[in-house]
Structure 1
Amino acid sequence: MDRCLLLILILVARNGLCQNGESCSKSVVNSCSDCIRSGPDCMWCQKLNFTKAGKQEAARCDTKANLMDRGCEEEEIISPKNNLKVVKEVPLSGSFSEQEPIQLSPQTIKLNLRPGLPHKFSVSFKRVEGYPVDLYYLMDLSNSMKDDLENIKNLGKDLFAALKQITEHAKIGFGAFVDKTVLPYTNTNKEKLQKPCDENDKKCQAAFGYRHVLSMTPSEDEFKEKVTAQFISGNLDSPEGSLDAMMQAAVCGEKIGWRNNSTRLIVLTTDDGFHMAGDGKLAGILEPNDEACHMQNNLYDKSSEMDYPSVGQLVMQLKKNNIQPIFAVTKNVESVYQQLSDMIPKSVVGVLSADSKNVVDLIERAYKSLSSKVTLTHENLPDNVNVVYTPKCDHPESAQDNKGVCNNVPAGKEVSFDITLTADSCMEDTSFTIRPLGIKDTLTVTLSTICECDCKNHTDVSGSEYCNSQGKIQCGICSCKDGYVGQACECSTDEREERAKRASCQKQNNTQECEGRGDCVCGRCRCHTTESGNSYHGDFCECDDENCEKFQNQLCGGHGVCKCGTCKCDVGFEGSACECRKSEEGCRTLNNTVCYGRGKCKCNRCECDVGYQRPNCQKCLGCPDSCQTKMNCIECLGFESGPFEKNCTVACSNISRHLVDQFTISGKECKQKDSKGCWIKFKLEQLIGEDNYMAEIQKQRDCPEPPSVTAIIGGSIAGVAVIGILLLMLLKLLIYMKDMKEWRKFENERKKSKWAEAENPLWQKATTTVSNPTFTGE
């Protein structure tokens, strides 16, 4: 017993838990490079003579456990590993200085990845204390914002004071917008273009789309002077040209005065919605927005020629230029701008009071919200590379697609992110960047893939000796010279020699060589590749791993691998296309059985035995009547008679019986005659399984009474008398019918006779007529 337990423990230690379900899914493998491209668990054994004669070299490609089980030593197994090299790693800065601060580390790395094998590394981020802030105040100057403008003119001091609390290196700029100066957005009457405000407004500036008023300045007085010189303008419709203004503020960096090393904020204040791409068609403007700067004399000069930008265009430019918008809007349009904010990764919405007096407090809270949220993402990621971010901080946000997020991170607090990269396939050398949103710092990742093997040469064996002087050893197999093939380059490709070996490449006599999917080389099939680049495989190239059943347009439902036309499902999935999870919940019956024992549960549905019906195989359609088929057993079990009387226990072992006065079970009620002519009443309830029953049999049979002799004799005499009378009546009927026939004949003859018409000569007419005088005729 102890020896058996020890053996089991050795096998588990070698093959089981440590491999954690490794698998190597491969097609035809002709080299070590083909093997390592098949999957991260595929390894190559370069041991000489590892493959048996006549077998394909694909046997060298398998999991480490399987290779070692077949005798390959660990030092002979080739399995390239991922390699990371840190090229540039400048430490994080503690506080802001005039030199460029470092907030993300490392800055440059090189990664060499094996396809399918994930690699994890860490990056660190620390927001520098006192980092410069550039705030561009972009204000709606339509007529409805008149009160707000007057308040902003008086809030400059408070705004600068709030920024100074954040950083000593703060600058502020100012811009204004209304809408395009064309119909139907603006009244194009010449007088109205010059003065689009109400008649009561004495100070009103001409209609405009977007105007840049003040470039970034640290001067409070300059800000107050420029803003004080601004007046209300106007337009016709409610939505404004907000997106036009934001796009120009984002792409005209030199004119706005954005600094390279700063947190860039756009504060947009408005009380109305915004026009977007496509709205320009109402004014006959068909040219799409080109996302370029068009500023002449501080005015957007393409406002009337170019359509509004789309939200996607704006998002891309804001991200590209590291700009974070703060939407300070009134309550009536909060939901509109909240939807816009949801599409812009680093943005926030705040509700303005009716006169914008709370704008300073709103900006301060919005900045804290934006700056304390660290969002790590990437740009220019190759299509076949996957990235997963795992935040390592006090307040991580739940996993998001292509992002890692840490919330409530104070300035000076260092946080880190674990980044897991996986290359799905071989690819050319490329690079992409990882960066925190709204921050200039980036991590450049130069990526390459390991798709070739670096094998050790077997110095103790020469290529001439092992490869018959016709090749050299590469990764344990022979690389043959032109004109020779085979495991040891033992076969010539001479046509006469090759013809004799072609028979071994035919699956059956007179079939096509290698099923038409490969070439017969040295008596063995060398399989072609499929259209998608994979290979056929099998001794006769009869298999491919692409033509399995699909579910939801995915091969094997995305939950299995295709093996020679058949889906091999992952653990927990089943079905011909691995389309469903393994479960018996839908097959359970009221008595907690699976399909009543009369079928199998597949894909959470019963597949019933022949005759039994879904959903749970309880009823059988077309099955023999159980009342009749079980009658002989009922007779012997209940009354010890009938055909099974002598072997009742054996023949009827599948029926449990109870003699009762009244039925108590549910099931089929039957009434059948037994071998003695008695009526037996019984009930059959089918139990679990196909031929398993419980029977309740009424104790008393209904047998017929014996016949009465007197009744039989009396009945016989009465029967004879009745028959005699019937015969006499029949005879009388026949005689009557004969007489009627003779009478009709006589009548017919009489009608045919003709009598002569003559008067009686003896008859004389009266000569005297006497009348009674008293006769009155009455």
Structure 2
Amino acid sequence: IFSGLNMCMSGSATSCEECLLIHPSCAWCAQQDFGKGRTLTFRCDFSQNLQKRGCLTQHIEYPTSSVSVLQNNPLSSKGSGSTLYNVVQMAPQQISLSLRPGDQTWFGLQVRQVEDYPVDLYYLMDLSLSMKDDLDTIRNLGTKLAEEMGKLTSNFRLGFGSFVDKNISPFSYTSPKYQENPCKGYKPFPSCAPSFGFRNILSLTDEVDRFNQEVQKQIVSRNRDAPEGGFDAILQAAVCKNEIGWRKEAYHLLVFATDDVPHLALDGRLGGLVQPHDGLCHLNDQNEYSASAQMDYPSLALLGEKLAENNIFLIFAVTKNLYIIYKNFTALIPGTTVEILDQDSKNVIQLIVAAYNNIRSKVELTVWDQPEDISLSVTATCQDGQPLPGLRKCADLKIGDTVSFNVSVDARSCPTRGADHSFTIKPVGFKDRLEVTVNYQCDCGCSRTAKTNSSICSSIGTYNCGTCHCEPGYLGAHCECQEGEAGSMYLSACREAEGKQICSGRGECSCNQCLCYESEFGKIYGSFCECDDFSCARHKGILCSGHGECHCGECKCHAGFIGDNCNCSIDTSTCVADDGQMCSGRGNCVCGRCQCTEPGAFGDTCEKCPTCPDACGTKRECIECRLFDLGRLADNQTCQRLCKDEIITVETLETNDPSAVLCVYKADNDCVMKFTYSEHFSGRSILTALKEPDCGGGPDALTVLPVVVGSILLVGLVLLAVWKLVITIHDRREFAQFQSARSRARYEMASNPLYKQPVTTHSVETDFDMFGKSYNGGVH
């Protein structure tokens, strides 16, 4: 029924309640006589399995998750008129969930922002010295703002409050001379009002003229450091509902106008304020924040919680240089927007109208008091109709549009007794909410009829949901055995041998005998639960190959099969080839299948072997009998039975198949027959043969001999001519060289090669006397 491991039958569940916690698909059988004999029946299983094993439907405990709608008033379409208190913008309003741990369920809800819904707007202004020009700008803000908001709603109220900072050091000037006038000695503005934390100047009213009058009375103040105490003021404006005058049936807009950054939680330690903010209202009779000098500034988390709790949309109206800082705050405080305010607040009306339209164009869900053991997953379906998993918000809406949300709920565990089992879902800034009550399906109905000292349990146990829970000291399915001195004897009787597990780890020892567990895989049996019918060897995932039965871990094979997993057939008929030989004489028959031993052989009976030495001879007989009706096979009329190969006849034998084997043989008439043989692993054998044998005559010897002799003589003459030509060229070159040497020798014989002309000649003058003798020597 269910594939894979059955986690319900793991054996870990000993009671109905434990079974339900294993998995949401598990069921428990509380039937008294469910499971008999020496098998320990698992009462925890899939519901279908329990019915299959004989458990009646009325005794099956299988709770499921469900949703019940308790209150579902229809959505309203308009917010004005006498039916204001009955305006519904969220449906349903109350539901009840029945959750089984791990079993996911879901419910849907719808939200619609109705037209002409009342609006309460509280203008919270920074009155530090740098906001003096802004104060001058908004002195007539009430009248103009009422005119613009009147275009959006017919029911509008306006209030006004202001803040500076904590009147303690180092945040403000605390010297006695500055108590009445912090601007004393400050030349640009020599006079201003004393510092204060927060002051509710005008509670929400529809008399806009009063707003103008109160604003005109205001005077700026001066603090010491740059950050302001605006978060103190926001928290007081949110939690002091009666003093501010917030109406339950109205949109609550809180406009926060400033030109500087705020002080955050822990900044108060600079002034010695270590007490965290308690989140409560602390306005005195003068409508001023009385705990400014006693508690630290509120944290962002506390601020977001109180704004959401009181359905207040916070609008940060800040100067351009602070936009990024306050934009980061909006990510931490749901239902908050930020707009850029001009230096002198000239655009404040356009800013408020734009922020209001932005708020009305989106719906965002928040969850309050969600139990820790419950997980929620929200899928939004906005105007385009496309489901957006994991998204809790829809934007770009028009007033009157309806959006849907699908909420999946999953209980991870059963809660502790007495824990709060409810939570709330509400859109940010709406008074509407959905109250969700949770009932956990952790208990079984059969437990309500449990009987103590039941006769079924030998009067010494409690009978609950089909099983006995024995008193201490007693054992057995019906508490029929007693522990004590005999306990060890009972356990030893349930061991197959010393040191082995009790009941082989697959059963329980009850009163001197093993009760074997049930298994989804098969039957567990034996005196010590040592046997089963599913732990035998398998072949291709099939127990005993499907040719045997599993008995106590060993395959008992059917007739005709052997082996550990009965996969080996002793029948050899499947190994006989068409020619009558076992595996075609090229292999052995093992387990009913041929194992080919001849290299290159394959096929069910090793009948295919293109490279075997006798392949051409075998296929030759098929060629002769199929094409020419000749040969041994034609005589025996067995050609069609043994020769099933495909034969293709061609005029000229050519092949591009590298695996094809060329066969050539000489026919009886001295003609030559050629064919190719190729085997394909797909099972096809192809023979490609010539249509007719090649019977062309041989060459004439008388013609061939003269041609051969003439060719030899011609080649010899050519070689002699080439040799003669080479010798002649060589001799001519040698004779030319001799003639040249002879001419040079004749020319050189005209002169004595031993005689050398003198290099220089000198003349010597000689004088003779009268006797003809020379005094100076002779001539050389």
TM-score by length of 2: 0.59
Among residues 203, 209, 216, which one is paired with 1:228 in the alignment? 216
Shift of 1:256: 0.8
Equivalent position of 2:70 in the other structure: 87
The residue matched to 1:165 in structure 2 has which SS? Answer: coil
- State the 1:118 CA deviation: 1.0
* Secondary structure in 2 matching 1:299: coil
Which of 157, 161, 181 is 2:147 aligned to? 161
* Alignment equivalent of 1:212, drawn from 193, 200, 213: 200
Deviation at 1:454, TM superposition (A): 2.9
Instruction: Give the C-alpha shift of residue 251 in structure 1.
Output: 1.4
| 1:291 pairs with one of 279, 284, 303 | 279
Cα shift at 1:117: 0.7
Change (3 A) 1:295 1:468: closer
| Alpha-carbon shift at residue 192 of structure 1 (Å) | 2.9
Equivalent residue in structure 2 for 1:109, among 78, 90, 95: 95
**Secondary structure of the structure 2 residue equivalent to 1:182:** coil
Partner AA of 1:227 in structure 2: V
Q: From the superposition, tell whether residues 22 and 445 of structure 1 become closer, same or farther in structure 2 (CA, over 3 Å).
A: farther
Q: Give the conservation status (yes or no) of the 8 Å contact 1:148–1:356.
A: yes
Question: Which of the residues 325, 330, 334 maps onto 2:323?
Answer: 334
Q: Distance in 2 between matches of 1:277 and 1:38?
A: 46
Instruction: Indicate yes or no: 2:27 matched with 1:43.
Output: yes
Relative to structure 1, the CA distance from residue 454 to residue 182 in structure 2 (aligned partners, 3 Å threshold; closer, same or farther) is closer
Cα distance in 1 for partners of 2:496, 2:317 equals 77
Identity over the aligned pairs, expressed in percent?
39
Q: Cα distance, 1:452 vs. partner? A: 2.3
298, 301, 316: which one pairs with 1:309?
Answer: 298
Task: Determine helix, strand or coil for the equivalent of 2:85.
Answer: coil
Show CA shifts across 1:573-628 (max 9, x none): xxxxxxxxxxxxxxxxxxxxxxxxxxxxxxxxxxxxxxxxxxxxxxxxxxxxxxxx
1: distance between equivalents of 2:68 and 2:394?
A: 26
Structure 1 match to 2:359 = 370
- Asked if the contact 1:119–1:421 (Cα under 8 Å) also holds between the matched residues in 2, the reply is yes
- The CA distance in 2 between the partners of 1:348 and 1:52, in whole Å, is 70
Residues 167 and 521 of structure 1: CA distance in aligned 2, closer, same or farther (over 3 Å): farther
- Which AA in structure 2 matches 1:214? L
1:204 CA displacement: 2.7
Which amino acid in the other structure matches residue 83 of structure 1? S
1:119 aligns with 2:105: yes
Question: Normalising to structure 1: TM-score of the pair?
Answer: 0.59
SS in 2 for 1:222: helix
- 2:277 aligns to what SS in structure 1? coil
Q: 1:514 to 1:281 in 2, by over 3 A?
A: farther
Shift of 1:476: 4.5
User: Structure 1 residue 177 and structure 2 residue 163: aligned?
Assistant: yes
The 3 A distance-change label for structure 1 pair 342 and 30 is same
CA separation of 1:272/1:394 partners in 2, compared to 1, >3 Å: closer, same or farther? same
Where does 1:340-379 land on structure 2 (aligned, <5 Å)?
A: 340-379=329-368
Do residues 442 (structure 1) and 433 (structure 2) align?
A: yes
Change (3 A) 1:291 1:398: farther
Find the residue that maps to 1:295 and give its secondary structure.
coil
Match of residue 760 from structure 1: none
- 1:205-604 equivalences under 5 Å are 205-296=193-284, 297-394=286-383, 404-427=392-415, 428=417, 430-454=421-445, 475-477=465-467, 485-487=475-477, 489=478, 491-493=480-482, 495=484, 498-504=487-493, 509=498, 522-523=511-512
Contact 2:379 2:387 in 1 (8 A): no
Assess, with a 3 A threshold, how the Cα gap between structure 1 residues 153 and 415 changes in structure 2: closer, same or farther.
Answer: same
Q: How many angstroms apart in 1 are the aligned matches of 2:142 and 2:199?
A: 19
Determine the structure 1 residue equivalent to 2:125. Answer: 139
CA distance in 1: counterparts of 2:290 and 2:395, whole angstroms? 41
Question: SS of the residue aligned with 1:29?
Answer: coil
Residues 260, 436 of structure 1: CA spacing in aligned structure 2 closer, same or farther, 3 A cutoff?
Answer: same
Rounded to whole Å, the distance in 1 between the matches of 2:355 and 2:59 is 61
Residues 378/27 of structure 1: CA separation in 2 closer, same or farther (3 Å cut): farther
State the distance in 2 between where 1:171 and 1:153 align: 17
Q: Counterpart of 1:31 in structure 2: which amino acid?
A: S
Larger radius of gyration: 2
CA distance 1:513–1:349, shift in 2 (3 Å) = same
- For residue 774 of structure 2, what is the aligned residue in structure 1? none
- Equivalent-residue separation in structure 2 for 1:41 and 1:268 (angstroms): 54
Q: Is the CA contact (8 Å cut-off) linking 1:212 and 1:299 kept in structure 2?
A: yes
Q: Which amino acid aligns with 2:24?
A: P
- SS of the aligned residue for 2:380 comes to strand
State the shift of 1:199 in Å: 3.4
Deviation at 1:209, TM superposition (A): 1.9
Give the C-alpha shift of residue 65 in structure 1. Answer: 5.5
The RMSD of aligned alpha carbons is 3.7
Q: Indicate how the Cα distance of structure 1 residues 116 and 507 shifts in structure 2: closer, same or farther if over 3 A, else same.
A: farther
Q: Which residue of structure 2 aligns with residue 34 of structure 1?
A: 18
8 A Cα contact 1:203 1:231, kept in partner: no
SS class of match (1:80) = coil
1:478-532 Cα distance to aligned partner (Å, 9 max, x none): 5678986533x2723264665542225669626898999x997535899xxxxxx
From the superposition, tell whether residues 450 and 504 of structure 1 become closer, same or farther in structure 2 (CA, over 3 Å).
farther
Task: Letter of the 1:416 partner, please give it.
Answer: S
Aligned partner letter, 2:318: V
- What pairs with 1:596-745 in structure 2 (closer than 5 Å)? none
Q: Do the aligned partners of 2:381 and 2:403 also contact (CA within 8 Å) in 1?
A: yes
For 1:387, the aligned partner's letter is L
> What letter corresponds to residue 165 of structure 2 in structure 1?
D
How big is each residue's C-alpha offset from its partner over 1:281-339, in whole Å with a ceiling of 9 and x where there is no partner?
22222222222222120211222222211112211111211111000100111111111
Distance 1:467 1:172, change over 3 A: same
Q: 1:358 to 1:515 in 2, by over 3 A?
A: farther
Instruction: Name the SS for the 1:336 alignment partner.
Output: helix
The answer on 1:151 being equivalent to 2:137 is yes
Structure 1: distance between partners of 2:238 and 2:459:
70
Distance in 2 between residues matched to 1:22 and 1:209, nearest whole Å: 67
Q: CA 1:156–1:54 in structure 2 vs 1: closer, same or farther (change >3 Å)?
A: same
- Structure 1: distance between partners of 2:46 and 2:278: 54
Moved more, 191-200 or 439-448: 191-200
Deviation at 1:86, TM superposition (A): 2.4
After superposition, the Cα gap between the structure-2 partners of 1:457 and 1:467, relative to the gap in structure 1 and judged at 3 Å, is farther
